[in-house]
Structure 1
């Protein structure tokens, strides 16, 4: 499940992932991203993962399509989690975007929220 969470900032998308994400979860984000892009700004994405187990195949495919289509539209991405594979995904994403991407442990989520705002 992907939950939209409140985080102040005119170009910030903030989400919390738990369980397994599917295509509908990823589609929730599209309007938020396009609303920011329509204002001529780059997107800052705060992505918190708590008890997150990954994506089903259609969800992964939709996420990859979205990330590829918007690779140049992201300014910063904060990945917040508590598993080694989540840090690995953060490192894997770096060559595919111009965004500054940083991984934070769950205990550092307040630091991550401040980082994404700066």
Structure 2
């Protein structure tokens, strides 16, 4: 079974057994942003270092960037978001994912937050 990890900047990452991880934003993040109206995704084949800006998101309230939690190469993007960015609002941990990344080093996952630690972080923000 895959495990979901989180970042302090409210991205989530679900790692799979094949060294690929799916990345999106958390429910907390999409609630703070409001209605998502535009998403700019990275290109398949692009390589990023951990913490780099990999995607852009715009909502009725603000614009921001989606940072990649780990170093790796983009292997797939959620093209459905380009025509229907509201998928991020509807299902941020499911159909609203942004991209899949082939991890350079699976050990980087250890530096991310587990669900309990992320819930503590969000609770401290409330």
Q: TM-score, normalised by structure 2?
A: 0.28
Q: Which has the higher contact order (CA 8 A, sep 6+)?
A: 2
Give the structure with the higher percent helix.
1
